[in-house]
Amino acid sequence: MLEVNQLTKSYPLRGKQAMPVVQVDTFCIQSGETLAMYGESGSGKTTFLNLLAGILLPDEGSICLDGTELSVLSENQRDLLRARSIGYVFQSFHLLQGCTALENVLLAMSFAGNVEREWAEMMITRVGLKERMHHKPGELSVGQQQRVALARSLVNRPNLLLADEPTGNLDPKNAAEVLDIMRNLCLENHASLLLVSHDEKIVAGFERQIDWSELNGANPLRETE
Amino acid sequence: MIRPGLRTILFLAQKGFGQHAFSSLVASLTIALAAGLFLSTFKIKEEANKAFSNASGGFDAVLGARGSKLQLILNALFHLEASPGNLSWEQYETILKTPGVREAFPIAVGDNYLGYRLVGTLPNLFTDHQWRPGENYKVQKGGRIFTDSAKEALVGSMVARKLNLKIGDRFHPYHGLTYKEESKHSDIYVVVGLLEATGTPADRVIWIPIKGIQLMEGHDASMAQSVSAVLLTLKGAAGFSLDLKYNKQGDRATLAWPVASILGSFFNKLNWFEDVLSLVAYMVAFIGSMIIFATLRSAMNERIREFAILRCLGASRRDVTFVVLAQSIMISFLGALGSLLFSFVIHSITARLIREQTGVVMEGIAIDQATITTFFALLLIGLLSGLLPALQAYRVNLSENLKPRT
C-alpha cells in the first residue's frame, strides 16, 4: 500500500552544509495495517510524516502510495491525493476555531470534492460527539477536540491515517479513549494507521512497532549537538 | 451547507470576515462613506442642473433692471435672492409689443406672508401660459384665479400645505422678502384658489394681482408704475435681437437669455466645489483600501496557521488565495452597497432641501452608468487591497505553520 525507498530529506543550515533529517532506505505499510513508530522529539519523525503526506518533497528517493509515486505529481495533484487518500491527526488538533465541529469535518470533505452531510454527522456521532457537532472547538474539551480531528481525518475514507503524537496533549483516560476510537475506525474503514509517539505505553499497544532511530539513517539530534 | 468549490471559498471568506467583524465593518463603512460622498456629489450636481433647467416655468428669458443675469433669473423665476431693481411699466409695454415676443408677464415682488414670497402678476399667466409644453396651471377644485383688481390670492401648492391655507382664509402681507413681525401691512388678502403642484418654484409663492404689490399700503408711490421683471416667451430667433438691443446696445435693462445656458454656466462655476469633494472622496477611498489591506494583513498573522491547516486538508494554494481575495471583495462589496445607500440618503436629503428652498423637484436617484462603474471600481479596489495578503496566503509554509505551538 505504501512503499518508501531511498528517501532522504535535508534542511539547509545557515552558513553550514545542509543537515540530513530523514534517510530511510526502505519502509512499507500493508493495507489495513496499524503500526506505531517511536523516537525522540526532534529526531525527524514529523518530517517523515510530512513527506509521506506529500506536504514536503524529498530530496531523493520515492514514496509510492497505492501505486502512485508522489514525487511525480504536481502540487495540486498531491493536494487532492492528500484530501482523498491520507488522513492526518496532529498533537495540537489543528481545528479551525471559527468553525463548528461539523463544519470542520465538512470542510475536509469539500476539499476531497465529495460532501455528504449525513456521513459527516455519522462520523461525528461515531466519535461520541453527536450532541456537540454544532459547537466550536473553544467550547469543547481537549479530548473532544481531538475526537473531532479524528472524525475529520477519516471522513474521506482515506487509505492511510498518519497520527503525529495524537495523544500528546491528552490525559491518560482521554488518550486511551481516543486511541481506541482511532484504531477501531481504521479497522472499520480498512485504513492503514501509522502512529508516531515518544510515549512507550502508547506504542506498546501496537503489534508492529518501529524504532525511528533504527529506521532513520540520519540523526539530526546528533548533528545539532 | 458547505459545497466544494466556490461555496467553500465563500464560506471560509465569510468566516474570516466574521472573525474580524469590527475592523472589516470599519473598512466597509469607510469605503461606503467615500464612495457615497463621491456618487452623491456627482449626481446631485447633475440632477440639480437638470432640475433647475427644467424648472424655468416655460419661460425663455427674463427682462429686468440692469445687473446680473443670474440674479435676475434667480429672483424672477426661482423666487430667490433680492430683486436687482425695477423696470417701468412703459418698459413692460414696450417689450410686450416687440415683434418676436410671444408672451410677456410682468411680476412685482417685495412682500411676503410668513416668509413665503408674494408675487404680483397678471391673471392671464395662469390661463394662457404653459409652464411645461402642453401644461397650463390648474387650480384645485373649488378655487379660482384672482381677479386683476381685487385683494385676492392664488396660493402655490407647497405654501398651502406648509401654512395650511384654505380657500376663504384671510391674511395680512408683511413688507420685505423675509418675514418680520413688525412689518405687517394693513391690507387683507383672501385666498380664492390653490394651485395644483407643478414641481416648479411656482409652488412656493403666493400669487396676487400685480396691482396689489404696486399699491400695497406703505409702499413707495414710485412702485405704483414699476415692475420687478418681465417673464418672456419668444418666437424664433428673437432672443438674439433682444440680446443685442438690451444687453449690447442698451444700458437701462438686462435681458437674461437663454435661461438654461445662464443656469448651466452657474452650475459650471460650482465645479471647483465638486473637484474638492471628489478629491476628499478619493482620499477617503484610498484610506478605505488601506484599512482593507491593514485588516487583512493583521488577520493574516492569525490566519496563516488556519491556511496551513486547510492546505493540509487538501486545499490548494489557489483555494487559500481565493479565500483572502473573496474576503477582501466581501468587504468592498459591503462598502459598495453602503455607498449606494449613503448616496441615496444624501440625495434624498438634498432633494428635500432644494424643494423646500426653491420649489424645484429633483428626480429620484437612478442606477446609471456612473453608479455601476463606481460599484465595480470599488470591487476592484477591494481586489487590489487583498492582493498582498492573498500572496502571503499563497506562499504559506505548511510544515512550519503546522508545528505545535508552545
Q: What is the pLDDT of residues B143-167, one digit of tens each?
A: 999 998 889 999 999 999 999 999 9
Which chain B residues are within 8 Å of A97, Cβ to Cβ? Answer: 306
* Least trusted range by pLDDT, from A129-143, A160-174, B195-209: A160-174
pLDDT number for residue A222: 63
Q: Considering chain B, what percentage of its residues have pLDDT values greater than 90?
A: 45
pLDDT number for residue B54: 76
pLDDT number for residue B169: 96
Preferred mutation among A49, A110, A116 to probe B, highest tally of B CBs within 10 A = A110
Q: Is the pLDDT of residue B127 over 70?
A: yes
Which chain B residues are within 8 Å of A88, Cβ to Cβ? Answer: 312
Give the three cell numbers for residue B245.
438691443
Give me chain A's average pLDDT, please.
89
Query: What confidence tens digit (pLDDT) does each residue in B345-354 have?
Result: 998 998 888 8
Q: Considering chain B, what percentage of its residues have pLDDT values greater than 70?
A: 98
Q: Are the Cβ atoms of A111 and B319 closer than 8 angstroms? A: yes
Higher pLDDT, A201 or A164: A164
Which chain A residues are within 8 Å of B404, Cβ to Cβ? Answer: 90-92, 165, 168
Instruction: Please give the backbone phi and psi of residue B205, each rounded to the nearest 5 degrees, phi first.
Output: -130, 165
- Across the A:B interface, residue pairs with CB atoms under 8 Å apart total 89
Nearest-Cα residue of chain B relative to residue A51 = B399
pLDDT number for residue A221: 67
pLDDT number for residue A202: 86
Residues 6+ positions from A122 with CB-CB distance below 8 Å: none
Task: Give the number of other Cβ atoms within 10 Å of residue A200's Cβ.
Answer: 10
Q: Are the Cβ atoms of A79 and B314 closer than 8 angstroms? A: yes
Mean pLDDT along residues B269-273: 76
pLDDT number for residue A189: 84
DSSP string, B9-35: HHHHHHHHHHHTHHHHHHHHHHHHHHH
pLDDT number for residue B123: 95
Mean pLDDT along residues B203-228: 88
Chain A nearest-CA distance from B336, in A, is 26
Preferred mutation among B15, B305, B313 to probe A, highest tally of A CBs within 10 A = B313
* Nearest-CB residue to B306 (from A75, A96, A103): A96
Mean pLDDT along residues B268-294: 79
Print burial letters for B66-80: b (CB count within 10 Å at least 16), e (below 16).
Answer: eebbebbbbbbbbbb
Q: Are the Cβ atoms of B19 and A98 closer than 8 angstroms? A: yes
Query: What confidence tens digit (pLDDT) does each residue in B359-395 have?
Result: 788 777 778 888 898 899 889 988 988 898 899 889 8
**Residue B2: pLDDT band with limits 50, 70, 90:** very low
Higher pLDDT, A26 or A224: A26
Which chain B residues are within 8 Å of A50, Cβ to Cβ? Answer: 398-399, 402
Nearest-Cα residue of chain A relative to residue B302 = A97
**Residue A3: pLDDT band with limits 50, 70, 90:** very high
Chain B nearest-CA distance from A209, in A, is 24
pLDDT number for residue B275: 81
Query: What confidence tens digit (pLDDT) does each residue in A42-88 have?
Result: 888 999 999 999 999 999 999 999 989 998 999 999 999 999 999 99
Interface of A with B in 109-148 (CB under 8 A): 109-115, 117
| Angle in degrees, 0-180, between the axes of helices B21-54 and B317-358, rounded to the nearest 10 | 40
Which chain B residues are within 8 Å of A114, Cβ to Cβ? Answer: 4
**Residue B296: pLDDT band with limits 50, 70, 90:** confident
Which chain B residues are within 8 Å of A84, Cβ to Cβ? Answer: 314
C-alpha–C-alpha distance, residues B146 and A57, integer Å: 96
Query: What confidence tens digit (pLDDT) does each residue in A98-137 have?
Result: 899 999 999 999 999 888 999 999 999 988 899 999 999 9
What does the DSSP 8-state code read for residue B188? -
C-alpha–C-alpha distance, residues A132 and B206, integer Å: 74
Q: Are the Cβ atoms of A96 and B310 closer than 8 angstroms? A: yes
Residue with cell 456612473: B370
pLDDT number for residue B3: 38
pLDDT number for residue A88: 92
pLDDT number for residue A109: 94
Chain A nearest-CA distance from B2, in A, is 7
pLDDT number for residue A118: 95
Nearest-Cα residue of chain A relative to residue B308 = A94
What amino acid is encoded at B223 in this protein? M
Mean pLDDT along residues B290-294: 83
Give me chain B's average pLDDT, please.
88
C-alpha–C-alpha distance, residues B286 and B206, integer Å: 50
pLDDT number for residue B92: 94
Q: Which of B11, B22, B28 is nearest to B289 (CA)?
A: B28
Chain A nearest-CA distance from B323, in A, is 13
Instruction: Determine contact: A83 vs chain B, CB below 8 A.
Output: yes
Which chain A residues are within 8 Å of B315, Cβ to Cβ? Answer: 79, 83, 111
pLDDT number for residue B115: 92
**Residue B405: pLDDT band with limits 50, 70, 90:** low
Residues 6+ positions from A2 with CB-CB distance below 8 Å: A27, A28, A29, A52, A63, A64, A65, A66, A160, A192
% helix, strand, coil for chain B, step of 5: 55, 15, 30
From residue B345, give the alpha-carbon distance in Å to each of A162, B48, B352. Answer: 58, 16, 11
Give the HSE-up count for residue B362: Cα atoms under 13 Å, Cβ half-sphere.
25
Interface of A with B in 6-35 (CB under 8 A): none
Q: Is the pLDDT of residue B242 over 60?
A: yes
Question: Residues A159, A127: contact at Cβ < 8 Å?
Answer: no
Instruction: Determine contact: A45 vs chain B, CB below 8 A.
Output: no
pTM for this model (two decimals):
0.74
Cβ-based interface (< 8 Å): residues of B facing A: 1-5, 7-8, 11-12, 15-16, 18-19, 305-306, 309-319, 398-399, 402-405
What residue ranges in B152-215 does DSSP mark as E strands?
152-155, 170-171, 174-175, 189-194, 206-209
Which chain B residues are within 8 Å of A47, Cβ to Cβ? Answer: 399
| Angle in degrees, 0-180, between the axes of helices B369-385 and B21-54, rounded to the nearest 10 | 160
**Residue B47: pLDDT band with limits 50, 70, 90:** confident
Q: What is the ipTM of this complex?
A: 0.89
